[in-house]
C-alpha cells in the first residue's frame, strides 16, 4: 500500500531522498498550497465558539498548518467539543437514586435513569470520536503534530577524528 505523499521540504529535511536540483524544483512547483488570508469563523458558531475558533486559528496559522480550506474542519471540531462538554455535564447530573416522592416504582425509575445514561454515553462517545478525528486532521493531537514537524538542520558538524592526522600550515 502506498504511503501518503509528503511535502518536498520534509523529504529533504529528513535526508531520505536524493533528488537532483531539477527534480526538487519540479516537485516544489507541483505542490499545491492553499492561502491562509481569509480565515473567518463560520456563521453557525456561537459567540464563545467563535472566540475559541479565532484563538485556535491564530495558533495554527503561526504553525503554518492552517489554510482557508481548514475553517470548516476547525468549526466542526469546536462544535463537537462544545456538544461533548454539554453531554458530559448531563451525564454527571444523573444520580442513580430513586425519588421517594414519585408515584413510579423505584425499579422503573432506576431503569429510566440507566436508559438515559446509556443514551447519553453513546452520544458522548460519538462526539469524542468526532473531536478526535477533526483534531487529527488539524494537527491538534501529539501524534499528528509529530508527523507535521520538519526536522531542524544541525549547524554543528561533528569533528572528524582523522583531522588530527592532516598537516596544518
* Mean pLDDT, range 2-22, rounded to an integer: 68
For residues 25 and 45, membership in a common domain is answered with no
Q: What is the pLDDT of residue 111?
A: 94
Burial environment of residue 66 by CB neighbours within 10 A (0 to 12, 13 to 18, 19 or more)? buried
For residues 28 and 38, membership in a common domain is answered with no
Residue 34 is classified by DSSP as -
> Is residue 78 situated within a structural domain?
yes
> Is residue 154 situated within a structural domain?
no
For residues 22 and 53, membership in a common domain is answered with no
> Is residue 160 situated within a structural domain?
no
For residues 23 and 47, membership in a common domain is answered with no
For residues 67 and 99, membership in a common domain is answered with yes
Q: What is the domain count for the chain?
A: 2
For residues 95 and 38, membership in a common domain is answered with yes
Cβ distance 27 to 17 under 8 Å?
no
Domain that holds residue 6: 1-32
> Is residue 37 situated within a structural domain?
yes
* Mean pLDDT, range 41-64, rounded to an integer: 91
> Is residue 155 situated within a structural domain?
no
Task: Pick the more confident residue, 1 or 73.
Answer: 73
Q: Answer yes or no: is pLDDT of 22 > 90.
A: no
For residues 46 and 128, membership in a common domain is answered with yes
For residues 109 and 140, membership in a common domain is answered with yes
For residues 9 and 28, membership in a common domain is answered with yes
Instruction: At 130, list the grid cell.
Output: 468526532
For residues 81 and 139, membership in a common domain is answered with yes
For residues 67 and 141, membership in a common domain is answered with yes
Nearest to 127 by CA among 93, 91, 79: 79
pLDDT more than 70, % of the chain? 75
Cβ distance 78 to 49 under 8 Å?
yes
Instruction: At 77, list the grid cell.
Output: 471540531
pLDDT averaged over every residue in the chain? 82
Q: What is the pLDDT of residue 55?
A: 94
pLDDT tens string 88-119: 999 999 988 888 888 889 999 999 999 999 99
Place 60 in a pLDDT band, splitting at 50, 70 and 90.
confident
**Cell 512547483 found at:** 29
Place 146 in a pLDDT band, splitting at 50, 70 and 90.
low
Which range among 29-33, 44-48, 106-110, 111-115 shows the weakest confidence by mean pLDDT?
A: 29-33
Place 38 in a pLDDT band, splitting at 50, 70 and 90.
confident
CA distance 135 to 164: 53
User: What DSSP line would sit under 112-163, residue for residue?
Assistant: HHHHHHHHHHHHHHHHHHHHHHHHHHHT-SHHHHHHHPPPPPPSSPPPPTTG
For residues 27 and 37, membership in a common domain is answered with no
Q: What's the gap between Cα 21 and its chain centre?
A: 34
Amino acid at each position: 500500500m502506498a504511503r501518503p505523499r509528503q511535502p518536498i521540504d520534509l523529504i529533504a529535511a529528513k535526508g531520505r531522498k536524493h533528488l537532483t536540483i531539477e527534480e526538487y524544483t519540479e516537485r516544489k512547483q507541483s505542490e499545491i498550497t492553499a492561502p491562509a488570508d481569509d480565515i473567518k469563523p463560520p456563521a453557525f458558531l456561537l459567540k464563545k465558539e467563535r472566540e475559541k475558533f479565532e484563538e485556535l486559528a491564530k495558533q495554527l496559522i503561526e504553525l503554518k498548518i492552517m489554510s482557508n480550506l481548514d475553517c470548516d474542519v476547525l468549526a466542526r471540531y469546536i462544535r463537537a467539543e462544545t456538544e461533548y462538554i454539554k453531554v458530559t455535564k448531563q451525564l454527571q447530573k444523573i444520580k442513580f437514586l430513586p425519588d421517594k416522592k414519585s408515584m413510579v416504582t423505584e425499579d422503573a425509575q432506576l431503569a429510566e435513569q440507566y436508559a438515559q445514561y446509556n443514551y447519553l454515553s453513546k452520544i458522548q462517545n460519538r462526539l469524542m470520536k468526532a473531536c478526535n478525528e477533526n483534531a487529527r486532521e488539524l494537527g491538534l493531537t501529539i501524534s499528528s503534530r509529530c508527523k507535521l514537524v520538519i526536522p531542524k538542520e544541525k549547524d554543528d558538524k561533528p569533528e572528524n577524528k582523522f583531522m588530527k592526522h592532516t598537516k596544518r600550515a
